[in-house]
Structure 1
Amino acid sequence: MRREADRRPSTRPTSRPPSAPTIPTARGAGELLRLLREHEGLTRSELIEHTGWSRSTLGARLDSLTAAGLVQSSGVGASTGGRPATRLSFHPGAYVVLAADFGATHVTVALTDLAGTVIAETTSELHIADGPEPALGWLVDAARQLMDEAGATTTQLAGIGIGLPGPVEHTTGVPIKPPIMPGWDGFKVASWVEERLGAPVYVDNDVNLMALGEHASAYPGVDHFVFVKVATGIGAGLISGRRLHRGAVGSAGDLGHVRAPHAPDVPCECGNTGCLEAVASGRAIAAELFPGRPREDIGTREVLELLERNDARATAAVRRAGRDIGEVLATVVNLLNPSVIVVGGSLAAGAPSLMAGIREVVFARSLPLATSHLDLVPSRVGSRAAITGAAVTVIEEFLQPDSVDARLATLGVTA
């Protein structure tokens, strides 16, 4: 286990709130906390001005939030002749969040505060194909150890976010026929983990979480955004109107199982042939470069090792894979018209020729209007994207105004 003090970029604006009231008087402490999250360091007078509440109503709701540990003093304002007014801010250290990112051959678990700041984390090699109970059992043990090391109790655990490398029915936290996850189909991941850790569990496809993490950290002001992961598999996370689009049953963005236009009839692990993932993923490229070795024994790591040695065959194969991805991604550009496409994942991080192949085809095959203001760029957040997205998922759910009000009522401190 290792500890970190890795400050995630804040997505909360720090400007003063507008002069018009921002909180309807009928709403409660949860809405007040949202205002304090959006605008740090407000005085009681400023809060009264911008809520329209009486001093007694404001005081009661602040007392509730303070008793729950969610609000703290953050210095004093400028004096206007009398005693300087105390400024109040959201306190992200009141609760902790567990965020887990499962890949095909690894898992990372991090403990964060309510601002997404990593307190401690651990990473291990782990094969998702070994089944749900061994993988999730490791997660539970690691989570308990991280909390023990940080001195956090179960009552401080706001929730657990989990990313899996396959399709997930988000509302139930159940994987649905994931191609590279034997034994996981229909397994009740959320309830299994919740029974053992005693906090709400949110499960999603890892690429969706990578999209959320990259968007929150690097592109919070972008309305239409696509994240493409290229690693052992290929997938996409789609954000439209600043909201993640999961589709009817959680399978939106399954880019890897779109048929590649010029691909041969290569069998794919999903059961079809000619899928993009079957010809352009890290494992597919490795199979091409190491034809005598079993597919299950090779993957992205071996491709990256060849690229580090400037192997010409590997460079050409990766660029060709980039073109295949670009053919499919051009359709996404024409259909969804994003303003930013970020390409991440372990293969993208170590293979500049992949991005070159993608850009070559996307800008040639997409409509000029759709690409006139399109940024197609590598990930800024890198391997942290899924962990960040998992934490963001929990934090946003936990700090919804209605959720805050309900928690205060449970604690007996509601106003």
Structure 2
Amino acid sequence: MSDRTGHEGRAAGGRAAGRHAGAGDLLDLVRSGRATTRGALRELTGLSRATVGQRLDRLFRAGWLREGAGGSPEGPGSPLGGRPSLRLEFDDTHAVVLAADLETRHARTALLGLGGEIVAEQAGPLAIDDGPDAVLGELGVRFAELLRKAERDPASVCGIGLAVPGPVDSGTGRVVQPPIMPGWDGYDIRGRLRRAFAEQTGGPADVPVLVDNDANLMAYGEQRAAYPRCAAFALVKVSTGIGAGVVVDGAVYRGIDGGAGDIGHIRVPAGQSGPEGPAALCKCGSYGCLAAVASGRAVARKLTEAGVPAASGADVRELLEAGNPVAVGLAREAGRHVGEVLATVVTLLNPGVLMIAGDLAGTPFLTGVRELLYQRALPRSTAHLEIVTSRLGESAALVGAGTLVVEHLYAPRRAEERLAALGV
């Protein structure tokens, strides 16, 4: 199963939109808004009226498209007159998606519509170091609870999206040497989550499961929801760890094997060894990583050393919300360290939007980021840069995971395969 994003599928659909365009290509044209009437589909593809009708009929029978009033006039005399055409729309009510966002100490799960709206959501403690078998089994239980709460049939679930705090090989859906996910390296997440879903809900045993890094999915969800026209979008998540997600031309950029965006393990001067010995030991086993000096875990450690007990990024967030002066000072210092690294990131990527998200994404941290970023990056790199905080908040990765599933399942080639499997 390929994990290409929907934008990649749409690019392929755009190339195929001609006399060989199939039902999946027509669906793609409708979903993207490039063609919303039968006449527009004929014009873009060069297909005959009968062929367009036959291919649309497959989509209607699958329940994926609906037709209603609202199109432009067609026929002789148009646009001066003529009968209004029927508008084609993707029917986003025919199925639902399940999504989960795993963090180090808790998880959020959600049931989403195909349009990205959250139908039901819940959050609760779940320790990722309990291991993949136990954690994924518990997600199956929580998915069943969501479906009961929303009164949805498990058979209506067309796919599951999962966000994890580690690098993911998108081809296999397996995490690769994750620093803060002990026991997960190379584990068959897709297979276990499918079994957990089927066992707990009675739903299909072959439901598609897509897995990606949490920062990637946060970036994808935020970019699609609020910045769809931004061609280069970067998100930095600073919570217990530090990671980044990059969306270029509407597609998540993952690198060769899912390792893109792992900026938490860039070495920084502040974390290097000093006269008193190694200053910052990272969870990955190295000294001097950005995450070892500027993550929520690092700030929590410094707070504890200063007499303010804290164990995680979530604890730091609570202290920041309460206005604790020690937490405010340390968060601003952490922001400066991250800003120093982001100066290089911004120079390399030249993004239009840089979003700061996660437990530390408040005013003190953002102030620190701005101080170093604008000081170190060339003015040319930041002239058109917008630095913002999260719009979707704690739901960002869930929305991104749901969107990834929908874009994958309804991309032209995959849509054709699914229509054939449905016997349509």
Deviations 1:165-215 (A, max 9, x none): 112222111112211211112211012112343311111111111111111
Aligned with 1:335: secondary structure? helix
Residue 76 and residue 21 in structure 1: after superposition, are their counterparts in 2 closer, same or farther (change >3 A)? farther
Residue 82 and residue 289 in structure 1: after superposition, are their counterparts in 2 closer, same or farther (change >3 A)? closer
Per-residue deviation at 1:261? 2.2
Give me the whole-angstrom Cα distance separating, in 1, the residues matched to 2:179 and 2:247: 24
Match runs of 1:34-53 below 5 Å:
34-39=28-33, 42-53=36-47
Contact 2:141–2:196, Cα closer than 8 Å, also in 1: no
Give me the whole-angstrom Cα distance separating, in 2, the residues matched to 1:274 and 1:401: 46
Give me the whole-angstrom Cα distance separating, in 2, the residues matched to 1:247 and 1:196: 30
Q: Counterpart in 2 of 1:380?
A: 391
**Amino acid in structure 1 at the alignment position of 2:304:** F
Q: Between 102-111 and 73-82, report the one with greater CA deviation.
A: 73-82
**Amino acid in structure 2 at the alignment position of 1:128:** I
Q: Counterpart in 2 of 1:256?
A: 264
Give me the whole-angstrom Cα distance separating, in 1, the residues matched to 2:172 and 2:15: 38
Residue 165 and residue 21 in structure 1: after superposition, are their counterparts in 2 closer, same or farther (change >3 A)? closer
Q: Counterpart in 2 of 1:16?
A: none
Aligned residues: 393
Q: Between 223-232 and 241-250, report the one with greater CA deviation.
A: 241-250
Aligned with 1:202: secondary structure? strand
**Amino acid in structure 2 at the alignment position of 1:318:** A
Contact 1:226–1:338, Cα closer than 8 Å, also in 2: yes
Residue 190 and residue 21 in structure 1: after superposition, are their counterparts in 2 closer, same or farther (change >3 A)? closer
Q: Counterpart in 2 of 1:227?
A: 235
Q: Counterpart in 1 of 2:66?
A: 72
Q: Counterpart in 2 of 1:284?
A: 298
**Amino acid in structure 2 at the alignment position of 1:179:** P
Per-residue deviation at 1:273? 0.7
Give unmatched runs, 5+ long, in structure 1. Answer: 1-10, 13-19
Give me the whole-angstrom Cα distance separating, in 1, the residues matched to 2:308 and 2:382: 40
Q: State yes or no: 1:362 paired with 2:362.
A: no
Contact 1:178–1:185, Cα closer than 8 Å, also in 2: yes
Contact 1:209–1:390, Cα closer than 8 Å, also in 2: yes
**Amino acid in structure 2 at the alignment position of 1:236:** A
**Amino acid in structure 2 at the alignment position of 1:352:** T
Deviations 1:23-61 (A, max 9, x none): 312111111111211228934334333332222111111
**TM-score, structure 1 length as denominator?**
0.88
Q: Between 401-410 and 34-43, report the one with greater CA deviation.
A: 34-43
Contact 1:29–1:61, Cα closer than 8 Å, also in 2: yes
Give me the whole-angstrom Cα distance separating, in 2, the residues matched to 1:310 and 1:211: 28
**Amino acid in structure 1 at the alignment position of 2:43:** E
Contact 2:139–2:196, Cα closer than 8 Å, also in 1: no
Q: Counterpart in 2 of 1:314?
A: 327
Aligned with 1:392: secondary structure? helix
**Amino acid in structure 1 at the alignment position of 2:285:** G
Q: Counterpart in 1 of 2:363?
A: 352
Match runs of 1:76-115 below 5 Å:
76-77=70-71, 84-115=84-115
**Amino acid in structure 1 at the alignment position of 2:328:** T
Q: Counterpart in 1 of 2:201?
A: none
**Amino acid in structure 2 at the alignment position of 1:206:** D
Give me the whole-angstrom Cα distance separating, in 1, the residues matched to 2:111 and 2:237: 24
Q: Counterpart in 1 of 2:178?
A: 178
Residue 89 and residue 319 in structure 1: after superposition, are their counterparts in 2 closer, same or farther (change >3 A)? same
Give me the whole-angstrom Cα distance separating, in 1, the residues matched to 2:19 and 2:195: 38
Residue 322 and residue 408 in structure 1: after superposition, are their counterparts in 2 closer, same or farther (change >3 A)? same
Aligned with 1:346: secondary structure? coil
**TM-score, structure 2 length as denominator?**
0.86
Give me the whole-angstrom Cα distance separating, in 2, the residues matched to 1:304 and 1:148: 33
Contact 2:99–2:160, Cα closer than 8 Å, also in 1: yes
Contact 1:97–1:394, Cα closer than 8 Å, also in 2: yes
- Kindly, what percent of the aligned residue pairs are identical? 44
Pick from 245, 248, 251 the counterpart of residue 240 of structure 1.
Answer: 248
Give unmatched runs, 5+ long, in structure 2. Answer: 1-5, 8-13, 198-204, 273-278
Aligned with 1:110: secondary structure? strand
